[in-house]
Chains A and B, each alone.
Chain A
Amino acid sequence: EIVLTQSPAALSLSPGERATLSCRASQSVSTYLAWYQQKPGQAPRLLIYDASNRATGIPARFSGSGSGTDFTLTISSLEPEDFAVYYCQQRVNWPPLTFGGGTKVEIK
């Protein structure tokens, strides 16, 4: 089973700042890495798939990069609605599909 480790666990930033979230895989997932956003009381929402492709309707301030074992989700300028928990997920070797533990982006 591929283990995904996200860092940091929490990130305190102000609106307008840049957020950089990391996801590391225990073995190569090529570019089969996705990112989801989850706000309190809501289901997760797909943001990025295949490492760098934005899902339908996702603003351009969200971008993803990486391949192999190291991936990054960048939010170029945080909007108030971006404060949430972010999860990475791999689909290269499944089942099982696996998620990272999440990074909480908090308002500073």
Chain B
Amino acid sequence: EMQLVESGGVVVQPGGSLRLSCAASGFTFDDYTMHWVRQVPGKGLEWVSLILWDGSSTYYANSVKGRFTISRDNSKNSLYLQMNSLRAEDTALYYCVKDIGPRGNYKGLFDYWGQGTLVTVSS
């Protein structure tokens, strides 16, 4: 069974840093592009970042560019999001999400989602 399990969400002060992790299982992790998508509780969805299956390229939403860094360790079937200079508006549930297409056929479509980890930025 395919599983994505996020961790690392906590309450952090504005300006602080945090690293989210996502443990993947049940599929060939290094075949797939992975994404982070966030959702303010009770609000809509916002795509945050993606990393290609081999880690060769990364992309970010303008709202997090320069502050967040996505990475992966294919030997550990794990995805990460390093979040620096956190702001109140980064408060959200962060989902680890699998792209539907393998390797070079990534599509920007999301077929499996974790349950999310909650990041709260507050003093």
B111 touches A99 (CB 8 A): no
- Chain A interface residue count, Cβ-Cβ cutoff 8 angstroms: 21
Shortest CB–CB separation between residue A16 and chain B, in angstroms? 28
Chain B, interface SS category: strand
Contacts of B116 in A (CB 8 A): 43
User: Which listed residue (A34, A96, A102) contacts B109, Cβ 8 A?
Assistant: A34
B61 touches A95 (CB 8 A): yes
- Which positions 42-68 of chain B face chain A at CB distance < 8 Å? 44-47, 50, 59-62
What are 30 A-B residue pairs whose CB atoms fall within 8 Å in the complex?
Answer: A36-B110, A43-B95, A44-B110, A45-B113, A46-B100, A46-B110, A46-B111, A49-B100, A49-B107, A49-B109, A55-B111, A87-B45, A89-B45, A91-B108, A94-B59, A94-B108, A95-B47, A95-B50, A95-B59, A95-B61, A96-B59, A96-B61, A96-B62, A97-B47, A98-B47, A99-B44, A99-B46, A99-B47, A101-B44, A102-B44
Q: Which 7 A-B pairs have the closest CB atoms?
A: A91-B108, A43-B113, A95-B59, A97-B47, A99-B45, A96-B61, A101-B44
